[in-house]
Amino acid sequence: MVKISRYILVVIAIVGFSIGIPKLYWMAFSKPIRVPFVMYSCIENDFMIQRSGEDGLMRQDTRGNNYTREEYEEKLPFLYVRQLLMSNTMPDSINGVEMDTHEISMNRSTFRVQPEDLDSQTQKLFPLFEAESGRANLEMPEDYFRISWRMEFVDAKSNKILEEKSQMFSAVLYNRGFEFPAKSINGIPTTRKSCDEGYLVVDSKDQLFHIKMIEGEPFVEKVKLPGGMKFKYISCVDFRNKNFYAYLFSTNNELYILTQDEYELIKFPVENIDPAKNQIRIYSDLFHYNIIVSGDDFVKVYALDTNYQNVNDYYETWPAREDRSEGKIIQALFPGQISMTDSDSNFIRFYTTFNSSLYWLVLSGLLIGVQFVIIKKRNLELKKNIIDFIIIGVSGIFGFLAVNIFPNKFFD
């Protein structure tokens, strides 16, 4: 029993050190990875790249031509529209299209999704706004809904279920073929939007429904989906041109939009779009969609025209943190590391990474040698310390510290 208590403490120490020591290492030695900002220029019909380095910002195109700040901004007129208008350098027309600030503004949109948005606590209660209240501003309803075995509205003030409203909405959903419960409820739960378009809800059979409330009555529309289509993430948008309701990311890493009113699913000609692993940013303007996919060691940018056809793409890589000198050193020092948090998740977990290189085994071997000397000095039996040697061999410096903090010398 006492022996077991010692090994428990050794394990606890190894866990603590595998979290604490690498954390200290990265605090001391990590360096920022400067990710280039890449956008397609409708003036140059080429990608413009802005890099930040130790000498400041560098702006260039894919052929290596360098630009001043002003020149760079002029190549991306829709990104810097306010600056160009201020300095009177906004062209009167681009590609034969007259520049109208209202039109520019109507067609400009930005969108971002990152892995932590997906690996996050699933929200199950939402406010259902009145979509046609006749008021200029949206108002926060008094109740919230959940879709479990039925669609249930809970009054916030009394914390009681609103039976009549719940039955009305549940009945309509049921009649439209909704299979309870909902797998995901996706919308924009805020009054700070131009209008309310309700929620896109995936039911338990992966069917997609559009649900909103119009003058107190339920509005439910089933969206026709190609067979077997499943979504890993749906993000509703509130863009001024009202072309579509949402960006939809399928489980086979494709990107779709769902057009407004017609409920047509349009696939973007882009590959391997996985918001669970990479950050996805989408900028749209009068001429193009820029879809920027960025990971730890790469950026890929697709430029699409407004008919959603691919115009050009750009790909760049750089060494990931593990491949840089500070990453290689840590791989030689530790067999792996544990972190309770991760930049790609909102959950607390034991995020365990094992080093792909085996250089740490050299240090482990050295530490086994040191332990051997310690045991000999204390005149202890080698046979009774074999488990300690194995612990050091497997967990390196963490195990070495642990077995010496909780010494074994009484057990022979």
Partner 1 sequence: MWKSVIYKEWLKIRWVAIIFGGLGILAVGNIFLKVQHDLVFNEATNYWYFILFQGYQFFGYGLFKFIPVLGALAVAVAQYFPETVNKRIKLTFHLPLNENKVLLMMMLFGTICLLAIDVIMFLLFTSLSLLFFPSEIIIATLVSTAPWFLCGFVVYFLVALIVLEPVWKYRFMYIIVAGAFVPIYLESAETGGYAPALPLLILFTVVLSISLLFSGYRFRKGEM
Contact residues toward partner 1 (CB under 8 A) are: 1-2, 4-6, 8-9, 11-13, 15-17, 19-21, 120-121, 123-125, 127, 140-144, 146, 154, 156-157, 159, 189-190, 340-341, 346-350, 402, 405-407, 410
CA terminus-to-terminus distance, the chain: 15
CB of 346 to partner 1, least distance (A): 5
CB of 231 to partner 1, least distance (A): 21
CB of 371 to partner 1, least distance (A): 16
By C-alpha distance, which of 320, 277, 311, 318 is closest to 291?
311
In the complex with partner 1, the residue whose CB is nearer, 3 or 34, is: 3
Which tokens belong to 208? 């997609």
CB of 277 to partner 1, least distance (A): 18
CB of 153 to partner 1, least distance (A): 11
CB of 21 to partner 1, least distance (A): 8
CB count within 10 Å of CB 95 equals 10
What span, in angstroms and rounded, lies between the C-alpha atoms of 376 and 69? 68
What span, in angstroms and rounded, lies between the C-alpha atoms of 312 and 174? 45
In the complex with partner 1, the residue whose CB is nearer, 191 or 194, is: 191
Which tokens belong to 287? 């001429």
Which tokens belong to 209? 């429904």
By C-alpha distance, which of 313, 316, 311 is closest to 295?
316
Peptide bond into 91 cis (omega under 30): no
Cα angle vertex 405, ends 401, 409, to 5°? 115
Which tokens belong to 215? 């003058």
Q: Do the beta carbons of residue 85 and residue 100 sit within 8 Å?
A: no
CB of 350 to partner 1, least distance (A): 6
In the complex with partner 1, the residue whose CB is nearer, 2 or 373, is: 2
Which pairing describes strands 56-61 and 310-317: parallel, antiparallel, or unpaired? unpaired
